[in-house]
Amino acid sequence: MNAPADILFETQRFGAATLRNRIVMAPMTRKRSPAGVPTDEVAAYYRRRGEGGAGLIFSEGAFIDHPSSQAHEGAAYDNIPHFFGRDALRGWQRVLAEIHRTGALFVPQLWHVGEVRRLGMPDDPAVPGYGPREIVEAGEVVVKAMSERDCEDIAGSYARCARTVREMGCGGVALHGAHGYLMDQFFWPESNPRTDGFGGTMTDRCRFACLVVERIRDAVGPDFPIVFRFSQWKMTDYDARIAETPEELETLLNRLVGAGVDWFDVSTRRFWEPAFPGDPRSLAAWTRQLSGRPAIAVGSIGLDRPHQSKFFRDKVKIDANVADLGPVVEALARGDFELAAVGRAILADPEWPEKVRTGRVSDIRPFERADLARYR
């Protein structure tokens, strides 16, 4: 490394807990939970990242208990974990126990895929997708435009699962509001043509997400950390933008803070890139400044190639070598964000944090496409 990485290993307050460092294991879908149940193998996978030195570990996205939350589109969404049901929750309790033995903090991420689901998909083929707009295919409604009652019902589902997260003894709850899934579908004008108070201006486009956060806050109480992940880009459109200006971003962030968000998980493909023309600040730095809340940056940290979406479907070259951490260190020193989330690098090498801490950078395994299929 060309810059000392000591700042990565400073402690950081997170709710009532103190993280041992500023390194986060980012949420990464791994599809290893048959019938939605995390196995002992899943628990061992997370334990190894705790043993490797991560301070905070996010789970992969876990479906909430609303029947429309899941998608089953070929192999892309098979074996995704649930955060409901006796067997799945027992599996997560094993995961939590294994992580806590390592000294890391565990925060599950709750997920609803929105209109990615279609009528006819398991587990109940009679349940269509739910989203901000109606989608008709071959003369049949395959995605239902959500009513206000639907919005309340899904917010209630999030709240039930979040209450379970707290009762289980996790360190906080994270919400997947990025990458073109349900809450992000409301944020993005391209997928939200509504004119009924849930669409139009940013104030109205973020109304559903704020409702979800409010119901969760009511369920978990005032002192339990709520982390909200958002992005500009989508799985289907790298150039998409939910906020065209800093003013729009400020509206989104401040309304979410007012609803109860404590931390923002800012998902970008390259964490260092400017968020808006004419200003060098990253999206995480803008988020930190505009919201007044701590931020987590993610996007190609530790690797020399940017994040590529749809790994399992695309045949692009996605191998990446170990990259200099100087830009991360500099951004932390500027106060651009509080925590650095590592995805593919820690997937390739569970000991990434400890190897950085002890100066064994040359021993870090580079990321390879095969790491997506391995489960070390």
Which residues are marked as active site? 181
Distance CA 188, CA 200 (A): 10
Closest CA to 60 of 37, 87, 89, 80: 80
Strands 105-111 and 56-63: parallel
In order, the DSSP letters of 168-209 are HT-S-EEEE--BTSHHHHHH-TTT----SSSSSSHHHHTHHH
283: tokens are: 């999206």
Cβ–Cβ under 8 Å, residues 348 and 301: no
291: tokens are: 């919201």
